[in-house]
Amino acid sequence: MAGAGAPGPRPTFREAHMVRALLLLGEVGQIGRGLLAQKLGLGEGGARTLLKRLMALRLITVGREGATLTPRGRKLWQALAKAMSSPIPIDAGRLSLDRFSAAILVRGAEKGVRLGIEQRDAAVREGATGASTLIYKGGRFIMPGGAQDCEAAYPDHVWSRIREAFPLGEGDVIIVASAGDPRPAEMGCIASALTTLNQMGAADPEKQA
């Protein structure tokens, strides 16, 4: 969606911004350009260009009151919302790597995680300081390549906060990203979630068919 369009300067937004915009629109129904720019950490020009791209893809319509999803956009939003949650602010405790942290749930995406390095790198590219990736399995939080029961190995309030924040299921992936500002932490979560979904598709022969 965020690939190069017409000739000209490369847009300041990336795929994660477009996904975040769709998730927001699905949740609130309508949003103005100024508030969208604020939520995404974009300038007015970047938000304007992003909206034009979404309109060109027939995912939104824009009126005086703001942008809303088209039926095509709502269908895409429903698919996104089925695969992943929106990022939420969280007191990450021992998982925190900076002043602000956010967490996101990627449903049933265990196959999309190797050692969590790809998720961390995706978050850093969005301006996050770093990210931790967890797999929920057998009622335990597992850190790939690390602790097989994080709650037992690293007692902290963060585990109960994650349980309270998300309806956890077997094989779910939770990513916690941190940054010096809330927006890069949230965008880092989304970029990491998209990386996880892409890797899950690459690891599943049925999805390659």
φ, ψ dihedrals at 138, nearest 5°: 60, 30
Domains and CATH numbers, the chain: 15-82 (1.10.10.10), 85-208 (3.30.1360.30)
Task: Kindly provide the b/e burial profile for residues 111-148, where b requires at least 16 CB atoms within 10 angstroms of the residue's own CB.
Answer: bbbeebebbbebbbebbbbbbbbbbbeeeebbbbeeee
Q: Radius of gyration of the chain from Cα atoms?
A: 17
* Dihedral sign computed on CA atoms, order 42, 40, 15, 29: negative
pLDDT of residue 69: 97
pTM (whole model) above 0.85: yes
Bridge partners of 61, per DSSP, are 68
pLDDT of residue 193: 97
pLDDT of residue 1: 53
pLDDT of residue 209: 42
The one-digit pLDDT tens for each residue of the chain (209 residues) are 554 444 444 445 789 999 999 999 999 999 999 999 999 988 888 999 999 999 999 999 999 889 999 999 999 999 999 999 999 999 999 999 999 999 999 999 999 999 999 999 999 999 999 999 999 999 999 999 999 999 999 999 999 999 999 999 999 999 999 999 999 999 999 999 999 999 987 655 455 44
CA distance linking residue 122 with residue 132, whole number of Å? 11
Q: Are 161 and 90 in contact (CB under 8 A)?
A: yes
